[in-house]
Homo-oligomer: A and B are copies of this chain.
């Protein structure tokens, strides 16, 4: 993606400079000149460390490539602000955990003269601790043709494992993958501190899985469980199967007691 206009460095505007926006800046700094917008205070130091210029949403929206890393709750508002400021030919990319709803919003609000690609990096600051090479990213073409070039950049320049898909197929798979992981993690965390002494290997793996998602922002859980149109069905299936297993086990205990 860099130097795609002769010798001129491509500009990247990040809207939403939270944990993921910062991770993106860390890995994209050598390829782009980065500006970022975030309404939260106290981001000056980290922005400086990452060589990122903090500015207005309007200024950020004039970059060649715009990365939307804002929470679902403000997503529609953010896209409508970008829509009035973005340049013809801009490439607009989002990075949220769900894809159907954001893709619909971007397609509806953004002008026809921009390219739109919906993505979901299947990792976060926690799992990218030792680098991002080999990690997975789902890429959904929404508008325009530059998704192929973006995919090549993600694969060649960042070493990511690119999975081309559609918002619908993505949300169906992720309703199980993220929906269940976060649901189970949430329930186990509410059970209080888990034992650490007489643990089995499988329980250790389960604990590791939980600790990877327990520090995710509450908005991530909210988005995964409520903004994915398939999450409710998967959740209901999990709860129903759990309930019927519970009944089976209570009956089996009664049978044993009667014998």
Contacts and interface: CB of A to CB of B under 8 A. Distances in A.
Interface stretch (A5-13, A105-113, A177-185): A177-185
Contacts of A158: none
Contacts of A187: 238, 241-242, 245
A199 B127 CA distance: 12
Interface in A143-191: 163, 165, 170, 173-174, 176-178, 180-181, 183-188, 190-191
A123 B201 contact: yes
Contacts of A122: 198-201
A239 B249 contact: no
Contact of A191 (B173, B176, B222, B250): B176
In which size bucket is the chain A interface?
35 or more
A252 interface: yes
Contact of A173 (B173, B198, B205): B198
A256 to B, nearest CB: 6
A253 interface: yes
Interface string A227-240: 00000101111110
A97 to B, nearest CB: 9
A123 B199 CA distance: 9
B222 A203 contact: no
Interface of A: 120, 122-123, 127, 135-136, 138, 163, 165, 170, 173-174, 176-178, 180-181, 183-188, 190-191, 194-195, 197-203, 205-206, 208-210, 212-213, 222, 225-226, 232, 234-239, 241-243, 245-246, 249-250, 252-253, 256
23 contacts: A122-B201, A127-B200, A136-B199, A163-B197, A163-B198, A176-B191, A176-B194, A178-B200, A180-B203, A181-B203, A181-B206, A186-B245, A191-B238, A202-B208, A205-B205, A205-B206, A205-B208, A205-B209, A226-B252, A226-B256, A232-B250, A235-B246, A235-B249
